[in-house]
């Protein structure tokens, strides 16, 4: 039994320290995008927490250690454009983490954390396309590349996040949470008798070629339009610069959602299994 406990402890050590390492990298990238948020101020404490867990022979954490992650959560939730949505999202993420690891009222997905961390990586191709779009906002190729990235990304992060939050809402019988609105960049969209997020609506328009690009003077406009009697009644237009801005919001909002979910999962594991006796 002692050997088994030690094995579990080592697995938790590796699990949490890997997660903290990637979080540290993510905050560094976010800091470059939003320097006023001062996300780099967490670096030293996060590194200290990671080293403490990595070098421990037994559970050793205190309330002060948990506060490091709680402070990061507060910082992420304070995003100027999405704070109200992120407050609701975080409540669901906390409920999911507790339901998964404490009450076990949702079905545990052994690969969930791995899939979330992998999906949150900022790959070089996406980074290069975003840089090109910012440097040349009238580049058709750069704008089109962002459209393709949005189509591919929806099937990874969006699906994983939504599936698990829907499960906790159902299992805990929670009310007052509109996932389509919470997960939208702007506002949810009608599709037939239901709603979907604006990201899904735009993704569907791109996938089914329901858009057109026009030019008036020096200004290019992308219009996403899908109007059907029993389906979408959706039209949204962006100038190239507005489209690049929308993509940036989408890009970071989904990753903030991802990390709030990961941090809450880590906090529950740390508070229940790694606290100093």
Buried b (16+ CB within 10 A) or exposed e, 254-264: bbbbbbbbbbb
The first and second tokens of residue 241, run together, are: 């610069």
28-58 confidence digits (pLDDT tens) = 877 887 788 788 889 899 999 999 999 998 8
Each residue of 142-158: pLDDT tens digit? 888 899 888 876 555 67
At 71, list the tokens.
């402070």
**What does the pLDDT read at residue 150?**
86
Query: How much is the pLDDT for 199?
Result: 93
| Residue 202 in this model has a pLDDT that exceeds 90 | yes
Looking at residue 4, its pLDDT comes to 41
Judge contact between 233 and 190, C-beta under 8 A. yes
pLDDT of residue 153: 64
pLDDT band at 218 (very low <50, low <70, confident <90, very high): confident
Tell which residue, 100, 145, 150, has the closest CA to residue 125: 145
Give residue 277's pLDDT band: very low, low, confident or very high (50, 70, 90).
confident
CA distance 224 to 261: 31
Query: Maximum distance among all alpha carbons in the chain?
Result: 74
DSSP H helical segments within the chain, as ranges?
A: 2-33, 43-55, 63-77, 83-101, 112-120, 124-135, 140-153, 159-172, 179-182, 198-207, 240-273
Share of residues in the chain with pLDDT > 70 (%): 90
Q: How high is the pLDDT of residue 149?
A: 85
Express each pLDDT in 101-141 by its tens digit. Answer: 888 888 766 666 666 666 656 567 777 888 888 888 888 88
183 vs 8: which has the higher pLDDT: 183
Residue 82 or residue 141, greater confidence: 82
pLDDT given for residue 2 in this prediction: 44
Least confident of 19-28, 39-48, 73-82, 158-167: 158-167
For residue 110, the model assigns a pLDDT of 61
pLDDT value at residue 121: 60
Query: What is the percent of the chain with per-residue pLDDT over 90, rounded to a whole number?
Result: 47
Distant-in-sequence, close-in-space partners of 276: CB < 8 Å, separation ≥ 6: 59, 60, 61, 62
- Cβ neighbors of 198 (< 8 A, separation 6 or more) are 184, 185, 186, 187, 188, 189, 236
**What confidence score (pLDDT) does residue 65 get?**
96
Counted residue by residue, the chain has a size of: 277
Mean per-residue pLDDT of the chain: 87
Rounded to an integer, what distance in angstroms lies between the CA atom of residue 130 and that of residue 137? 10
In this prediction, residues 62-70 reach a mean pLDDT of: 96
Rounded to the nearest 5°, which phi and psi values hold at 116?
-65, -45
Please answer whether residues 232 and 201 qualify as being in contact, where contact means their C-beta atoms are separated by less than 8 angstroms: yes
Span 160-188, mean pLDDT?
91
- pLDDT score of 156: 59
């Amino acid at each position: 039994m002692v050997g088994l406990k030690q094995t579990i402890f080592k697995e938790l050590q590796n699990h949490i320290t890997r997660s903290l390492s990637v979080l540290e990298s993510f905050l560094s990238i976010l800091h470059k995008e939003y320097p006023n948020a001062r996300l780099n101020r967490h670096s030293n404490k996060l590194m200290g927490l990671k080293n403490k867990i990595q070098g421990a022979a037994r559970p050793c954490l205190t309330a002060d250690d948990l506060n490091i992650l709680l402070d990061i959560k507060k910082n992420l939730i304070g995003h100027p454009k999405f704070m109200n949505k992120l407050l609701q999202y975080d409540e669901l993420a906390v409920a999911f983490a507790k339901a998964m690891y404490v009450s076990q009222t949702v079905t545990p997905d052994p690969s969930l954390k791995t899939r979330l961390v992998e999906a949150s990586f900022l790959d070089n191709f996406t980074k290069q396309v975003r840089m090109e779009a910012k440097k040349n906002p009238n580049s058709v190729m750069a704008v089109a590349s962002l459209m393709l990235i949005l189509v591919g990304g929806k099937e990874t992060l969006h699906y994983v996040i939504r599936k698990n939050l829907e499960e906790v809402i159902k299992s805990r019988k929670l009310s007052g949470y509109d996932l389509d609105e919470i997960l939208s960049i702007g506002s949810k969209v009608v599709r037939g008798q239901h709603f979907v997020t604006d990201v899904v609506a735009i993704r569907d328009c791109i996938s089914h070629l329901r858009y057109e690009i026009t030019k008036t003077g020096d200004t290019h406009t992308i219009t996403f339009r899908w109007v059907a009697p029993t389906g979408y009644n959706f039209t949204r237009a962006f100038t190239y610069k507005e489209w690049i801005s929308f993509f940036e919001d989408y890009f970071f909002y989904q990753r903030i959602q991802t990390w709030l979910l990961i941090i809450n999962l880590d906090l529950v594991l740390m508070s229940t299994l790694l606290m100093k006796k």
